[in-house]
Amino acid sequence: MKYSNIYMGIILIAISYKTLDTGVYIPYFVQGVELGVFKYLLSFLFLIIGIYFIIFNKKKIFDEDDKNKYYKCPNCKETYEPSSLDGGNKCPMCKINVIDIDDYYK
């Protein structure tokens, strides 16, 4: 499920290439529809949507990796999420740099 948008993006890019190459769009595996000059428009549309799916999913995966991180203040021993830190990596109470929780317990 995590990479389903990437797979969908690859399929849409492949459909874009097939539509541009043959000039025929085959929806739902029925008889193809001859597109004429609209093949360029439809192919470009599939290409843009496919690239969007791939880029959007990569951004979502990187955001999920950041959500699972926790930081600990070495001074007050409090645990924080990245969203609750001041200035990106400062403890809101002590105003000193926090460290990754994995590094803290090593």
Edge-to-edge, what's the strand order for the sheet holding 79-80?
A: 79-80, 71-72, 99-100
Q: What is the pTM of this model?
A: 0.51
User: Rounded to an integer, what distance in angstroms lies between the CA atom of residue 39 and that of residue 48?
Assistant: 14
Render pLDDT for 56-70 as a digit per residue (tens, 0 to 9): 776 665 555 555 678
Domain boundaries in the chain? 4-67, 71-104
Render pLDDT for 11-59 as a digit per residue (tens, 0 to 9): 889 888 888 887 777 666 666 667 778 888 888 998 999 998 888 776 6
